[in-house]
Amino acid sequence: AQAHPRAGNRVGYPPQGSGAAEGHHKPKRRFAAVHVMATEGLPVLLACRVLEVSESGYYARRSRAPSPRSIRHAWLTDVIRQVHAVSRGIYGIRRVHAELTLGRSITVGHQAVELLMRRAQIQGISGRPKFRRVVGVATAEDRVARQFQPDQADELWVTDVTEHPTREGKVYCAVVLDAWSRRVIGWSIDGRPTTALVTNALGMAIDQRRPNRSTIIHSDQGTQFTSWAFTRRALDSGLLPSMGSVGDCFDNAVMESFWSRVQVELLDRKRWSTRVELANAIFDYLEIFHNRQRRHSSLGMLTPVEFEARRQPTTAA
């Protein structure tokens, strides 16, 4: 292979203008690298040869006055440090930018603030996660395997959450269902889909039924159900947590069928004005209509309360 025409007699160095040198390292960055190498005791001439920059160019850059842009960046970095310190180390890029533009009337772009904070290694404090969960990992195995025909009460419980809009905002409802009698044994309603929503529904079911230590509580892998609080509540009560696979409605088919009926028979029949109006309607549907009045084909056209009374007289109606 022929030598590069500008290489001269240099042996063992990449040719000037090659992509390996100029395509990946800008001259000003290489000058900065020369300075670092020089402070570590390496001769400037050797450092310039290794990085393929001229020695005269290096010294010329050192003697050159700082540019207005670099001066402004240095000043902005100092101001950003002040803002970050005043915020007790809490503010991130968005709030630092807001303080600079709104609080101190400094004209600066969001990307410039991001760049300077990254260079200065300034970071804000992010919020803690809502749910204690290992992402993508179920906290329980699937103990049901789509077999939703238990032989007795409190052998298998299923649970899930649904949502529905009102003019004030969404209403969230968590329900615990006994798969044997289809009876709603626990429920909770709130304006947010928090861990407390599902934990309260589970607590209601536990208080009503006093299950034995072989009862399975089956759910999907929603963040509320994989949370530490829900899992701890189930285990402390002697329940056996179970979870279906991600994104497969058939793994919790009983609850999916239940919510489908609620949607058709209650939620979609009108537009709800307030959260209280919808919450009252859901309560009436679950406790009065579903448990005590609605006849279920899977129960031989009995209501859940009637089915439990006939099959298991000791169960409280």
Q: What secondary structure letter does DSSP report for 287?
A: I
pLDDT at site 157: 92
Q: Which one, of 229, 255, 304, lies nearest residue 144 by Cα?
A: 255
pLDDT attached to residue 134:
46
Is the predicted pLDDT of residue 140 greater than 80, yes or no? no
> Can you tell me the distance from the alpha carbon of 51 to that of 164, in angstroms, rounded to the nearest whole number?
64
**Distance between first and last Cα of the chain:** 94
Helix or strand run (H / E) with residue 190: strand 183-190
**Would you state the pLDDT for residue 175?**
95
Report pLDDT for 173: 95
What value does the CA radius of gyration of the chain take, rounded to a whole number of Å? Answer: 33
DSSP annotation of 268:
G
pLDDT tens per residue, range 265-303: 899 888 999 999 999 999 999 999 899 988 887 888 888
Percent of the chain with pLDDT over 90: 34
pLDDT digit string (tens) for 17-48?
A: 444 444 445 666 787 788 788 888 888 888 88
Q: What is the DSSP letter of 296?
A: B
- Cβ pair 230, 195 in contact under 8 A: yes
What pLDDT score was predicted for residue 63?
75
**What is the rounded average pLDDT for all residues in the chain?**
82
Between 208 and 3, where is the model more confident? Answer: 208
Report the distance separating Cα 285 and Cα 25, nearest Å. Answer: 69
Give 243: exposed, middle or buried? Use CB within 10 Å, 0-12, 13-18, 19+: buried
**Quick check: helix, strand or coil at residue 303?**
coil
At residue 315, the pLDDT reads 45
* Cα separation, 262 vs 191, whole angstroms: 18
Which segment, 27-31, 138-142, 188-192, is predicted with the most confidence on average?
A: 188-192
pLDDT band at 56 (very low <50, low <70, confident <90, very high): confident
Confidence of residue 6 (pLDDT cuts 50, 70, 90): very low
pLDDT at site 54: 83
| Helix (H) or strand (E) run with residue 259 in it | helix 253-265
Q: What is the pLDDT of residue 286?
A: 94
- C-alpha to C-alpha distances, 190 to 49, 112, 281, nearest whole angstrom: 69, 42, 14
Residue keyed to tokens 């189930």: 234
pLDDT in the model for residue 313: 53
Q: Which among 114, 150, 193 has a CA at the least distance from the CA of 307?
A: 150
> CATH for 156-311?
3.30.420.10
The DSSP element (H or E) to which 256 belongs, if any, is: helix 253-265
Give the tokens for residue 245: 């696979």
pTM metric for this prediction: 0.55
- Give the residue-averaged pLDDT of 224-242: 88
Is the pLDDT at 14 greater than 60? The verdict is: no
Sign of CA dihedral 132, 137, 139, 145: positive
pLDDT at 1: 46
Average pLDDT for 194-222:
89
DSSP annotation of 302: B
Backbone angles phi, psi at 253, to 5 degrees: -65, -35
Nearest to 255 by CA among 167, 124, 159, 187: 159
Cβ pair 198, 220 in contact under 8 A: no
64-111: pLDDT as tens digits? 777 888 899 999 999 999 999 988 787 889 889 988 988 889 999 999
Q: CA 34, CA 58: separation in Å to the nearest integer?
A: 8
Task: In whole angstroms, give the CA distance from residue 86 to residue 81.
Answer: 9
Q: List the domain boundaries for the chain.
A: 19-63, 68-119, 156-311
Residue pair 165/270 in contact by the 8 Å Cβ criterion: no
